[in-house]
């Protein structure tokens, strides 16, 4: 069988560049070299070369996180170049990247989201009113971000200004939302329009971390990740279906991973959906996929297959 020429994109220009480079290296190692001729591109430097090579590329694997990677822009470029790629298209990527747009769509679908308020950097914000509207503790985050960058938890009104300034240094628009105390869960799904949920993962950041922040995410051993999550079967099924609904309502394709929190009353709050989740063999999505019967290389094969299928379907209707 003739090998497919695969463009592996990693690096990029977002604040998650290092995470992407790491995932890209691990994906490169895991790809079956009998099946794929792998060409590597770092969009920070190599977009011109990618465009020049486009005719000879059969499929792309986008292992980029955050702005100019996970937000629909690279997906748009690949659409123009007629190159199939894994995961969500322009619309799903952009919708999921923006935490305000995604909250509005989740709410329409009947998914529960923490009470929230949106602020733009052009506004004068009254810190007391901000805390009173949402109630303490609260979480401040950039509208478009990832890896918990720019995010803070505020326990005391005196700390709100620092948190707002920090979030605004990463985005013009930010979200202030109610802090939900409970069990943190993440739901991975695979498939285009009717995705299948994998077993849920329960996330327990170590004692030194107040939440699943950047260091808790990327320091080996800092966080316990338990798959399947040790929660009641009915709640687990409900959370898995929430992940499926979140994927569908945001128009995601291929795969996605939705972060949620289960409170002691049994309510499941949806935080966000990741369209290009971390992709080292020990990252959350590959762990869930493994519990669902896919090795890391099989997972990559499946994502490529789903991407090619979605590309063909899209072209039939244009």
Would residue 177 show up in a list of annotated catalytic residues for this protein?
Answer: no
Query: Of the listed 218, 255, 269, 294, which one is catalytic?
Result: 218
* Residue that is written with structure tokens 């993962």 in the block: 201
Helix, strand or coil, per DSSP, at residue 4: strand
Nearer to ligand ADP, 41 or 212 (CB): 212
- List beta partners, residue 37: 5
174-182, 188-196, 236-244, 293-301 -> range binding ligand ADP (CB under 6 A): 174-182
With binding defined as CB under 6 A, does residue 71 bind ligand ADP?
Answer: no
In whole angstroms, give the CA distance from residue 121 to residue 201.
Answer: 36
Strand-pairing partners, residue 184, are: 203, 261
218 included as an active-site residue? yes
| 8-state DSSP, 65 | -
Closer residue to Mg ion in complex, CB, 59/95:
95
User: Where do the DSSP E strands lie in the chain?
Assistant: 4-10, 36-41, 59-63, 116-120, 138-142, 152-154, 173-178, 183-190, 196-197, 201-205, 223-226, 255-262, 268-274
Rounded to the nearest 10 degrees, the angle between the axes of helix 127-134 and helix 160-168 is 90
Binding string to ligand ADP for residues 121 to 160, with x set by CB under 6 A, is what?
------------------x-----xxxx--x---------
* Closest approach of Mg ion to the CB of residue 93, in Å: 15
Closer residue to ligand ADP (CB): 148 or 297: 148
Within 122-161, the residues that bind Mg ion by CB under 5 A are none
- Per-residue binder mask for ligand ADP (CB under 6 A), 84-123, x = binder: ------------------------------x---------
Taking CB under 6 A as the criterion, the residue among 16, 42, 272, 310 binding ligand ADP is 272
Terminal-to-terminal C-alpha distance of the chain: 30
How many separate helices (H) and strands (E) can be counted in the chain?
11, 13
Is 177 near ligand ADP (CB under 6 A)? yes
Of the candidates 202, 274, 294, 310, the residue annotated as catalytic is 274
Dist CA 78 CA 81 (whole Å): 5
- Binding residues vs ligand ADP (CB under 6 A): 114, 139, 145-148, 151, 177-180, 184, 211-212, 259, 261, 271-272
Catalytic residue IDs: 16, 147, 218, 257, 259, 272, 274, 278
- Binding residues vs Mg ion (CB under 5 A): 259
């Amino acid at each position: 069988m003739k090998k497919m020429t695969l463009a592996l994109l990693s690096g990029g220009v977002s604040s998650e560049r290092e995470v992407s480079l790491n995932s890209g290296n691990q994906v490169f190692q895991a790809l079956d070299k009998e099946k794929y001729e792998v060409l590597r591109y770092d969009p920070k430097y190599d977009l011109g070369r990618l465009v020049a090579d486009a005719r000879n590329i059969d499929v792309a694997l986008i292992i980029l996180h955050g702005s100019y990677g996970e937000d629909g822009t690279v997906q748009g470029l690949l659409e123009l170049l007629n190159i199939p790629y894994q995961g969500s298209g322009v619309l799903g990527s952009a919708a999921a990247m923006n935490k305000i747009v995604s909250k509005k769509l989740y709410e329409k679908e009947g998914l529960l989201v923490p009470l929230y308020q949106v602020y733009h950097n052009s506004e004068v914000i009254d810190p007391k009113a901000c805390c009173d509207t949402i109630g303490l503790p609260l979480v401040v985050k950039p509208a478009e971000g990832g890896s918990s960058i720019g995010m803070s938890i505020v326990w005391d009104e005196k700390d709100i200004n620092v948190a707002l300034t920090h979030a605004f240094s990463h985005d013009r628009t930010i979200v202030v939302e109610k802090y939900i105390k409970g069990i943190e869960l993440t739901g991975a799904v695979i498939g285009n329009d009717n995705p299948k949920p994998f077993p849920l993962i329960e996330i327990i950041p170590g004692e030194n971390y107040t939440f699943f922040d950047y260091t808790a995410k990327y320091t080996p051993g800092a966080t316990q990740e338990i798959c399947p999550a040790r929660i009641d079967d009915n709640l687990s099924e409900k959370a898995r279906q929430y992940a499926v609904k979140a994927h569908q309502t945001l128009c995601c394709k291929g795969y996605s991973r939705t972060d949620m929190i289960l409170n002691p009353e049994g309510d499941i709050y949806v935080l966000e959906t990741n369209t290009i989740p971390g992709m080292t063999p020990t990252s959350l999505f590959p762990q869930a996929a493994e519990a669902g019967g896919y090795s890391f290389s099989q997972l990559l094969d499946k994502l490529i297959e789903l991407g090619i299928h979605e590309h063909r379907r899209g072209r039939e209707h244009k």
